[in-house]
Amino acid sequence: MRPGSTESAHTGTRTRGNGPLVGLVVVLALVNFVVDSAVTAPLVVLPEMLDHFGTDQAAWLNATAMLAGVMWAPLLGKSADIHGKRRVLVLTLLLSCAGALVCAVAPGLWLFVPGRMLQGASLAAVFLSVAIVREACAPRTAMVLVGVVTSGSAVLNIASRFFVEKLAVEFGFQALFLVSASVAAAMALCVHRLVPESPVRTPGRLDVEGAVLLGGGLAGVLGYVSLGSGPGWLAPGPLALLVGGAAALARWFLVAGRKPDPLIDVRGLGGPLVLTLLVVFLAAGSYQSVLQLVPLVGDVSADQHLGYGLADQGSVALLLAAPGVGVTLGGPAAGRLAARVGPAPTLAGAVALGAVVTLGMFLGISRLPVALCCGFLLGVTVGALGTAGFNMAGSLAPADRQGVVSSLVMVMVSVGSVVLNFVGAAVLESTSVLVDGETVNSATGMRGCLALASGAFALAAVLSVRLVRIARTGREAREPAPERNPA
């Protein structure tokens, strides 16, 4: 191999020189910034949106994009394998742009919610960027760059929060969506002009029926979990989501086994990939359930005598910013470590770090220095888990299935986040106390959430150790036995 070039062991794709490779990584990192502007940045102006539309249904404004992203992910992942990753990434960004424009001009929720669903397609940009990097570079180089691409925009995300807040005050929350549309359109143009198209194609047809059943089923079940607490778990709307989603998933599973080219070949996933997806599900849900405690703890003063609280101990803004800094460092560090020791040990290490940090937060809910340290390390865990999860799954998939396998990782991250966030919220609600006529979270609830996250991390650690052993056994089986000297 020539100096300054990288070559993929799977595809033979070569990136000559460092210039094009650096440009590719910068573009794809900025593409992931689009995801934040579409999915999470609108939460900064959530109160303004609720007032504008005259509703208290925050879940519909908050969760719709993420749930739609789960629905879009398998469809766009499979499409990328069949029609080309760059082409589908451009389509993803244009869908996000269209959704943002719809949200900006929507006169009511009847149009705003479909706009958020279109914006949810941007979630696919994360795993499509990963698949493009893995195809453009040699495996060891790709492991490092996956961390840069998935985590490099975290600092921009922190800075954008202040910009978004000021923009909303000056021009209304609609300005946020106009900016999001502009960024998505600009990045679509950059991807079209600067990112090479994939030469690898998966022959076959897109299983549209399977995509609708799987995506719709996941969105229905998760919609029930996310939205049911508002109108009530037995209300007709949430129940319809649950029944419809479960029926769609059951239908998809039965039909997928009989199709020659299903959206996801469930029987062909293999034990290591299933273990990887389970680890990602548990770990992603765990760290998200801990992250949701950070603003709650930072908003309470120790003078309220609830047994926790950091509001009177110093700058809580640092507490909110620390995870973002950790993400920026954790992703590239995990990629570099994976290139040295392999993705399976790196994934196990990230899970172990998350478990330790979660235990540390038992002290962090009442001591700011401990909370700052844990917040930063939790961010490192977030970046490392995402990078290691994508690298591990990508190493188990052939070149012509990188898109759909990467989409499964994103689905597991989303599903885990929604499910364990809901469970954590239920723990807080069931243990709340009444203080001066106001219902507030109790220290018991806080510790209960941390115990739940610790248990999920512990189970993920057991599975990740098993994954390391399987990976080591497979590597030893591939290595030739040493030659014996003749006697």
Asked if residue 213 and residue 197 are part of one domain, the reply reads: no
**pTM of the prediction?**
0.83
Q: Are 429 and 462 in contact (CB under 8 A)?
A: no
Q: 6: which strand partners?
A: 15
Mean pLDDT lowest for which of 8-22, 108-122, 234-248, 446-460? 8-22
Asked if residue 244 and residue 186 are part of one domain, the reply reads: no
Asked if residue 122 and residue 107 are part of one domain, the reply reads: yes
Q: Read off the pLDDT of each residue in 68-89 and give the average, rounded to a whole number.
A: 88
pLDDT at 137 over 80: yes
Greater confidence (345 vs 6) lies with: 345
For 402, the token pair is 């990188």
- Does residue 3 lie in a domain region? no
pLDDT at 211 over 90: no
Place of tokens 């600092």: 155
Greater confidence (85 vs 168) lies with: 85
Domain of residue 258 covers: 207-262
Give 356-367 pLDDT, tens digit per residue.
999 999 998 888
- Does residue 384 lie in a domain region? yes
For 464, the token pair is 């990740």
* Spatial CA neighbour of 187 closest among 17, 35, 407, 70: 35
Place of tokens 């002290």: 363
Asked if residue 300 and residue 213 are part of one domain, the reply reads: no
pLDDT at 75 over 60: yes
For 456, the token pair is 């999920």
For 231, the token pair is 């109108």
- Does residue 484 lie in a domain region? no
pLDDT at 17 over 60: no
- Does residue 27 lie in a domain region? yes
Q: Read off the pLDDT of each residue in 96-123 and give the average, rounded to a whole number.
A: 91
* Spatial CA neighbour of 375 closest among 321, 328, 302, 312: 321
Contacts of residue 216, defined as CB under 8 A and 6 or more positions apart, other chains included, come to 71, 244, 245, 248
Tally of domains in the chain: 3
Asked if residue 426 and residue 363 are part of one domain, the reply reads: yes
Asked if residue 334 and residue 230 are part of one domain, the reply reads: no
d(CA 299, CA 74): 38
Place 46 in a pLDDT band, splitting at 50, 70 and 90.
confident
pLDDT at 183 over 70: yes
**How large is the angle between the packed helices 124-136 and 18-39, nearest 10 degrees?**
170
Asked if residue 423 and residue 412 are part of one domain, the reply reads: yes
d(CA 109, CA 117): 12
Asked if residue 124 and residue 21 are part of one domain, the reply reads: yes
Greater confidence (17 vs 37) lies with: 37
Give Cα separations from 399 to 14, 44, 134 (angstroms).
14, 39, 9
* Residue 6 confidence (pLDDT): 35
pLDDT at 182 over 80: yes
Asked if residue 243 and residue 304 are part of one domain, the reply reads: no
* Spatial CA neighbour of 350 closest among 138, 147, 70, 148: 147
Torsion angle in degrees (nearest 10) through CA of 57, 59, 63, 64: -20
Which long-range contacts does 306-311 make (Cβ < 8 Å, 24+ apart)?
A: 306/433, 306/435, 306/440, 306/441, 306/442, 306/443, 307/366, 307/442, 307/443, 307/444, 307/446, 308/365, 308/366, 308/443, 308/446, 309/365, 309/366, 310/365, 310/366, 310/367, 310/368, 310/371
Asked if residue 334 and residue 245 are part of one domain, the reply reads: no
* Residue 474 confidence (pLDDT): 67
Place 12 in a pLDDT band, splitting at 50, 70 and 90.
very low
Greater confidence (43 vs 112) lies with: 112
Residue at 336: amino acid letter: R
Asked if residue 213 and residue 200 are part of one domain, the reply reads: no
- Does residue 380 lie in a domain region? yes
Residue at 87: amino acid letter: R
Greater confidence (1 vs 324) lies with: 324
Asked if residue 356 and residue 220 are part of one domain, the reply reads: no
Place 3 in a pLDDT band, splitting at 50, 70 and 90.
very low
Give 393-420 pLDDT, tens digit per residue.
988 888 778 888 888 898 888 888 878 8
State percent of the chain over pLDDT 70.
88
Give 286-330 pLDDT, tens digit per residue.
988 888 788 788 878 878 888 888 887 766 667 777 888 888 889
Question: Pick from 262, 291, 307: which residue ends a domain?
Answer: 262
Give Cα separations from 327 to 30, 150, 480 (angstroms).
15, 9, 39
* Residue 410 confidence (pLDDT): 87
